[in-house]
Amino acid sequence: MKKLKERWREIVYRAVTAIAEKSGFETGELAPEKIITEVPPDMRMGEIAFPMFQFSRLLKSAPNVIAEECLSEIEKLSSKGELDLNELGLPTVKGPYLNIKLNRESVTAKTIDAVSSEGSEYGKSDILSGKRIMIEFSCPNTNKPLHLGHLRNDAIGFSVANLLVASGATVKRVNLINDRGIHICKSMAAYERFGKGSTPESEGIKGDHFVGKYYVMFNEWVSKDPEAEAIAREMLKKWENGDEKTIALWKKMNRWAIEGISRTYEKTGIGFDKIYYESETYKLGKDEVLKGLEGGIFYKEEDGSVWVDLTEEGLDRKVLLRSDGTSLYLTQDIGTAVQRYRDWPFDRLIYVVASEQNYHFKVLFLVLKKLGHQWAENLFHLSYGMVNLPEGKMKSREGKVVDADDLFEELKLLAREEIGSKEREGEIEDAEKTAEKIALGALNYYLLQVSPQKDMVFSPEESISFTGNTGPYLQYTGARISSMITKYRERESRYRGGQFKAELLGEEAEWEIIRRIASYPEIVEQAAENYNPSILAVYLYELCKAYSRYYHDFPVLHNDDINLVASRIKLASVLLIVLRNGMGILGIPFLEKM
RNA sequence: GGGCAAUUAGCUCAGCUGGAUAGAGCGUUGGCCUCCGGAGCCAGAGGUCGGGGGUUCGAAUCCCCCAUUGCCCA
């Protein structure tokens, strides 16, 4: 379909050029790829539309006149045998638009053939082939469990990584564990005081929640006794000086936290190719800053703190090292970036981080550029909006946070109930696992249907809804079709000899599905280019919607014509491939039964 | 004080590089299971695309001003 569109652009270009020559106008910078195409509002008008307004200035003529002229030029080319309109489709004029009606039968045959032969490869492109792209996402702290914000981050990171892979890039998924700093010491201090040697095992609590409990405890403690703050700070100093006991405690608690967080990752199905730890890169960051200081890129204040002046770049001055020589987030990020480029020279590094850090990344990228790293130009902050609750912002200090594990459990429970209410339970092999997959599908779809850049409201009731525009709707469509195909195979003898014939798929509803299937590769490209999984989410929903409508109106198996059955089954199985591929990219588990 | 972003139906969101009548879901009103999975399908009501200017043959989309909200920097 993309190829056809490009061919038509060239044809229209030729036609317009011919008209221009006749009237003695220059075509100037006109080029086939610059010609604007659209999709007509009504399927009956065709599949590709060329608005002629774009040429009216060039040809000094009214768009509807140009449309007619264009058409006759194309017909001329066709009668000369230079164009095969039977293969390319039929141009028609509607007011100021030149619309192309594709040859349905030929597009149907080609599309179905392409999808069935490419299978799980269908939709992949090479627009990023040869590119090495590193993508950082998730980035948890080791003092508390993952929350809703991380889930959005993970969903975006995971799916964007998949989109890049589908576009031919070599992708390295990396995580950065924020495992050092005053906040980490807070939970350590609280544990040392209140923990009494308990462990996640002894308490029967997941490690990250266990550690998080002490972080909360610290905040309670410090509200009663301001001394706590000093104790934590003392601990940080000890940590930086390599005090053995402190390091041992730090290691122990980090292990608990990371172990717990990893279990959450297992549930949500995400993984990384490499994990970075701030505790291992912050020193490199310091070195870089000191190098910059020597090189005169940065400067020192009287109190000994190191600064960078970005006023020329339209930003502010910014601290890089505190007066006591300790590092900041920015310092650590400098070190991490440098380390990454050493480890794996990339063509692009994408940071999936919330929009509240927009300024931070602007500064980071500028500082790295100032330090002379040419690759700094290839850094990109994929900024996503905050996740708010209907009653307002999430506030971790006030306990107004949606915990990732809790949310997941809740979703799973509801999915389990839903399964139980369907009287289909007996057919499902593992109801527990299925419930988990439905929960994950609901969650990922909910988080990904919104454009990343926008803030979103997370309504618990809506996210657990399994009807309407949701992940489970996609899964449900997939399950129904799977079940139908199974039936088809079971009754194979009845349909034996049935042949797929493109011309039998002549219903409008079928054509709508086919043109959507044909445009899937373009959708994946678009989503990848914009780092925007929501484009794909919307597409999949519309695809399923179109099929559900069709499926409701037209029998697939219940037909006397076995060729018609075979053809409609073919359509269903091709759609299933697209659905599977697309859902895979978004992290929505595909289910044969649910 | 400065910067960035957002504002589309009661609620949550789509609307791609400006194009033909602004779309979904939830909710609401009303239909559809002797038939391949009703987690479904269909229809109705619901809009001054925050406000005002501008560019353009054409603006929800681009530009400017204002308002509101969120985030960040100091």
Structure tokens at A476: 């449900």
Fold (topology level) of A404-586: Isoleucyl-tRNA Synthetase; Domain 1 (1.10.730)
The residues facing A91 across adjacent strands are: A100
What's the 3-state SS for A462-496?
HHCCCCCCCHHHHHHHHHHHHHHHHHHHHCHHHHC
Name the closest nucleotide to A421, judged by C1' and CA: B39
A469 is near strand B: CB distance < 7 Å = yes
Distance A558 CA to B35 C1' (A): 8
A97 is near strand B: CB distance < 7 Å = yes
Integer Cα distance of A543 and A565 in angstroms: 21
- CA-based end-to-end distance of chain A: 34
Fold (topology level) of A137-388: Rossmann fold (3.40.50)
A417 is near strand B: CB distance < 7 Å = no
Neighbours of A215 (CB within 10 A): 23
pLDDT digits (tens, 9 = 90+) for A265-289: 999 999 999 999 999 998 899 999 9
Neighbours of A486 (CB within 10 A): 12
Burial A253-269 (b: 16+ CB within 10 A, else e): bbebbbebbeebbebbe
* Amino acid code (one letter) for A497: G
| Average confidence (pLDDT) over A481-497 | 94
Integer Cα distance of A166 and A592 in angstroms: 24
Distance A423 CA to B27 C1' (A): 27
Question: Is the pLDDT assigned to residue A563 strictly greater than 70?
Answer: yes
Beta strand pairing call for A274-277 and A170-177: parallel
* Strand B contact residues in chain A (550-579), C-beta within 7 Å: 551-558
A64 is near strand B: CB distance < 7 Å = no
Would you state the pLDDT for residue A30? 82
Helical spans, DSSP H, in A269-397? 278-294, 329-343, 358-370
Residues near A76 by beta carbon (within 8 Å), at least 6 away in sequence? none
Would you state the pLDDT for residue A143? 92
The residues facing A388 across adjacent strands are: A457
Which residue, counting CA atoms, is nearest to the C1' of nucleotide B74? A316
Distance A451 CA to B6 C1' (A): 12
A535 is near strand B: CB distance < 7 Å = yes
Residues near A552 by beta carbon (within 8 Å), at least 6 away in sequence? none
Would you state the pLDDT for residue A397? 62
Q: Round the average pLDDT of chain A to a whole number and report it.
A: 93
Integer Cα distance of A306 and A340 in angstroms: 24
Structure tokens at A253: 């608690």
Exposed / middle / buried, residue A406 (Cβ in 10 Å: 0-12, 13-18, 19+): middle
Residues near A497 by beta carbon (within 8 Å), at least 6 away in sequence? A562
Residues near A256 by beta carbon (within 8 Å), at least 6 away in sequence? A199, A200, A207, A208, A210, A211
Q: Which stretch of DSSP H or E encloses residue A173?
A: strand A170-177
Task: Write down the residue that tokens 């990371």 correspond to.
Answer: A258
Distance A387 CA to B2 C1' (A): 26
Distance A135 CA to B71 C1' (A): 23
Would you state the pLDDT for residue A399? 64
Confidence band, pLDDT 50/70/90 cuts, at residue A553: very high
Question: Is the pLDDT assigned to residue A319 strictly greater than 70?
Answer: yes
Would the pTM of this model clear 0.90, i.e. be above it?
A: yes
Beta strand pairing call for A387-388 and A379-384: unpaired
A356 is near strand B: CB distance < 7 Å = yes
pLDDT digits (tens, 9 = 90+) for A385-413: 999 988 888 876 666 788 999 999 999 99
A463 is near strand B: CB distance < 7 Å = no
Which of A102, A77, A86 is closest to A10 using CA atoms?
A77
A2-102 architecture in CATH? 2-Layer Sandwich (3.30)
Distance A511 CA to B26 C1' (A): 30
Confidence band, pLDDT 50/70/90 cuts, at residue A573: very high
**Residues A208 and A309 sit within 8 Å (Cβ to Cβ):** no
Query: Hey, where are the domains in chain A?
Result: 2-102, 137-388, 404-586
Name the closest nucleotide to A434, judged by C1' and CA: B39
Question: Is the pLDDT assigned to residue A29 strictly greater than 80?
Answer: no
What's the 3-state SS for A403-429?
EHHHHHHHHHHHHHHHHHCCCCHHHCC
Distance A414 CA to B28 C1' (A): 25
Name the closest nucleotide to A40, judged by C1' and CA: B20
Would you state the pLDDT for residue A398? 63
A453 is near strand B: CB distance < 7 Å = yes
A42 is near strand B: CB distance < 7 Å = yes
A340 is near strand B: CB distance < 7 Å = no
Which of A500, A521, A520 is closest to A563 using CA atoms?
A500
R_g (Cα) of chain A, nearest Å: 29
Distance A456 CA to B12 C1' (A): 9
Name the closest nucleotide to A414, judged by C1' and CA: B39
* Amino acid code (one letter) for A305: S
Would you state the pLDDT for residue A315? 84
* DSSP single-letter state for residue A327: B
Number of Cα atoms under 13 Å in the Cβ half of residue A53: 5
Q: Which nucleotides of B are covered by protein (CB under 7 A)?
A: 2-7, 11-21, 24-27, 35-42, 57-58, 70-74
| Average confidence (pLDDT) over A443-466 | 89
| Average confidence (pLDDT) over A419-445 | 92
| Average confidence (pLDDT) over A517-527 | 95
A358 is near strand B: CB distance < 7 Å = yes
A395 is near strand B: CB distance < 7 Å = no
* Strand B contact residues in chain A (264-303), C-beta within 7 Å: none
**Residues A346 and A336 sit within 8 Å (Cβ to Cβ):** no
* Amino acid code (one letter) for A186: K
Would you state the pLDDT for residue A426? 86
Would you state the pLDDT for residue A465? 85
Distance A549 CA to B42 C1' (A): 9
Integer Cα distance of A556 and A553 in angstroms: 10
A152 is near strand B: CB distance < 7 Å = no
Which of A350, A155, A384 is closest to A267 using CA atoms?
A155
Phi and psi based region of residue A139 (left: phi greater than 0; alpha: psi -120 to 50; beta: remaining): left
Structure tokens at A57: 């200035």
Distance A310 CA to B65 C1' (A): 29
Phi, psi of A573 (to 5 degrees): -70, -30
Integer Cα distance of A330 and A288 in angstroms: 11
